[in-house]
Amino acid sequence: MAMGKVLTLYINLQDKDLDFSLLKGKKFILAVCPSSVNNLTDKDIENINNFLEKGCILGQRGDSGICKYPHTITEPWHENVCLYNPSLDFDEQYDLMLNGKQVLEEVFGKVDVYCPINHLYDVNTVKAAQILKYRYMMDLNLQELSPYENNGLIILPESKEKGDIVYIHYSDLQKKEVKEFIKNNEFVLPNELQTASNPENILLVNEIQKKIRKYEKDLKKLKEKYNLE
Q: Which of 193, 203, 83 is nearest to 147 (CA)?
A: 193
How crowded is residue 208: how many other Cβ atoms within 10 Å of its Cβ? 11
Number of shown-chain residues binding Zn ion (CB under 5 A): 3
**Which listed range, 33-41, 81-89, 145-153, 199-207, lies at the site for Zn ion (CB under 5 A)?**
81-89
Contact between 213 and 142 under an 8 Å Cβ cutoff? The reply is yes
Paired residues of 153 in beta bridges: 150
Q: Which is nearer to Zn ion, 85 or 185 (CB)?
A: 85
Least distance from Zn ion to the Cβ atom of residue 70, Å: 8
Question: 45-74: which residues touch Zn ion (CB under 5 A)?
Answer: 67, 69
Q: Is 115 in the site for Zn ion (CB under 5 A)?
A: no
128 lies in the site for Zn ion, by CB under 5 A: no
Q: Which stretch binds Zn ion (CB under 5 A): 15-23, 76-84, 138-146, 162-170?
A: 76-84
- Angle between helical axes of 123-131 and 90-108 (0-180°, round to 10): 40
Cβ-contact 143, 209 below 8 angstroms: yes
In the bound state with Zn ion, the residue whose beta carbon lies nearer, of 69 and 215, is 69
> Looking at beta carbons only, is 47 or 74 nearer to Zn ion?
74
Q: CB of 104: closest distance to Zn ion in angstroms? A: 23
CB of 134 to Zn ion, least distance (A): 23
CA distance 195 to 197: 7
CB of 52 to Zn ion, least distance (A): 31
Cα(162)–Cα(229) distance, rounded to whole angstroms? 33
Q: Does 82 bind Zn ion (CB under 5 A)?
A: yes
Q: Which helix (H) or strand (E) holds 160?
A: strand 153-160
Closest to Zn ion by CB, 76 or 163: 76
CB of 163 to Zn ion, least distance (A): 28
Question: 9 vs 67, which CB is nearer to Zn ion?
Answer: 67
Classify residue 56 as exposed, middle or buried by CB count within 10 Å of its CB (0-12, 13-18, 19+).
buried
Q: Which residue, among 8, 67, 6, 16, has the nearest Cα to 38 in the 3D structure?
A: 16
* Max CA pair span of the chain: 52
Q: Is the CB of 31 or the CB of 67 nearer to Zn ion?
A: 67
Closest CB 71 distance from Zn ion, rounded Å: 6
Task: Determine if 120 is a binding residue for Zn ion (CB under 5 A).
Answer: no
DSSP state of 70: -
* Contact set with Zn ion (CB under 5 A): 67, 69, 82
